[in-house]
Amino acid sequence: MKTIGLIGGMSWESSAKYYQLINQEVKKQLGGLHSAKCILYSVNFEEIQRYQAQGDWEKAGHVLGDVAQSLEKAGADFIIICTNTMHKVIKLVEEKISIPILHIADATAHQIVKSDIRTIGLLGTSYTMEQDFYKSRIESNGIKVLVPNIEDREVINKVIFEELCLGEILQSSREYYKKVIQRLIEDGAEGIILGCTEIGLLVKPEDSEVPLFDTTVIHALESVKKALE
């Protein structure tokens, strides 16, 4: 079994879910008392979020690069970054290590293609929905990506940072997300990417009439698959 290096804390709410999912899947695959060989380095999200807001992605990338370096030295065989948004700086992180990083968008795109879906709606932080670092990775697989309108994007982003990252799960926000999902479906979306690792804490499969692709679940299970190869 390979050792998974997790860069977490962005936010710790979803990082805890990663840890749970990974260990549950290892137990499911191997049985008995088996659990995952993994090393979790949880960063201070306040610092990372400040760099995001300032647009200082280089500094944020160097922080995560140093973390990845520590995980490699500690014995990790590969890295997963437990957040969608910070894959924006993956090249800066890769420059500091010799082990691979399992990209969350690649794992997600693979599942979308397997489902024979060609038009997908994307929910996430404003950075993820509006910038190309994530969407282009999905689109390179022949998938058309739809994002909500600007008003919806602002609300979605606010819910992520002001509620979900703080562990607040509000029914009013769930209802709003459901309306956004419905609007994306009306625009042609055949499925929805929950492209922020916290959104799966709020939105469930029963909240959508089309398939949901929860990136936290997909990324965690794909990391186990790689660890057990």
Mark whether 96 and 12 lie in a shared domain: yes
Q: What is the DSSP string of 6-54?
A: EEE-TTHHHHHHHHHHHHHHHHHHH-TT----EEEEE--HHHHHHHHHH
Mark whether 48 and 69 lie in a shared domain: yes
Mark whether 223 and 206 lie in a shared domain: no
**Tell me, what's the pLDDT at 203?**
96
pLDDT in tens, the chain (229 residues): 999 999 999 999 999 999 999 999 999 999 999 999 999 999 999 999 999 999 999 999 999 999 999 999 999 999 999 999 999 999 999 999 999 999 999 999 999 999 999 999 999 999 999 999 999 999 999 999 999 999 999 999 999 999 999 999 999 999 999 999 999 999 999 999 999 999 999 999 999 999 999 999 999 999 999 999 9
Q: Domain with 208 in it: what CATH number?
A: 3.40.50.1860
Mark whether 46 and 120 lie in a shared domain: no
Mark whether 157 and 132 lie in a shared domain: yes
Mark whether 109 and 197 lie in a shared domain: yes
**Tell me, what's the pLDDT at 42?**
97
The pTM score is 0.93
Structure tokens at 201: 């804490």
Helix (H) or strand (E) holding 158: helix 150-162
**Tell me, what's the pLDDT at 141?**
95
DSSP code of residue 98: S
| Beta-sheet strands, E only, within 71-168 | 78-81, 119-123, 144-146
Phi then psi dihedrals of residue 184, to 5 deg? -65, -40
Q: Which residues pair with 121 in a beta bridge?
A: 146, 192
The set of catalytic residues is 83, 196
Mark whether 131 and 90 lie in a shared domain: no
Domain that holds residue 64: 4-103+218-227
**Cα separation of 70 and 150, whole Å?**
39
Q: How many domains does the chain have?
A: 2
